[in-house]
Amino acid sequence: MLEPGVYSIHISAFDNGGNEKTGRGLFFYDDQSVVTLHGEKTKCTTASKDTSYEWVVQDTATVKIVWTNRFFNVRHKSNRWLNPVLDMPSGAAPIYEDLYGNRTNAEINHIHGIKYYTVKPAHACSHLYYKVTYFLSFHGIFHMI
């Protein structure tokens, strides 16, 4: 691939009886995108206001981190690469549409071009990672047990 973007491959099969079926596969190529920071800093709302939300001063097993409008992938958002892809042209059997896999014709859930977040607490349990896939509210709640 020479240019980043969403691509489709149409594969047609023909037999001696003149029958034809076409299928389509979709894929995404991007070797240039970066995630950029915008807006307010990420904040731990469980932390004390008196410490500018930097220190949790009460014993708790749950920590809430908020990152409202903080992260953007401008290329994915502005080029609409995660939006739904139009159905195959009329006359094509939908059974041959690529409806499974990493890039189907359905919209990829995202906020500002970001598909999900991975959070790593920096403390004694730093080998643990938390993948946050429900991010529509721009926060993650972590149970530090």
Q: For each of the chain's 145 residues, which pLDDT tens digit applies? A: 789 999 988 888 899 998 888 888 888 899 998 999 988 888 888 889 998 888 888 888 778 888 888 889 999 999 999 999 887 766 666 667 777 777 888 888 888 888 877 766 665 554 555 555 445 456 666 666 5
pLDDT recorded at residue 83? 92
pLDDT for res 91:
64
DSSP the chain: --S-EEEEEEEEEE-TTS-EEEEEEEEEE-SS---EE-SSPPEETTS-GGGTT----S--SEEEEE-TT-EE-HHHHHTTTTSPPPPPPTTS-GGGB--SSSS-SSPPP-BTTB--EEE---STTTT--EEE---TTSEEEEE--
Q: Residue 86: what pLDDT?
A: 84
* pTM for the full predicted model: 0.67
The per-residue pLDDT for 78 is 93
**pLDDT given at position 16:** 94
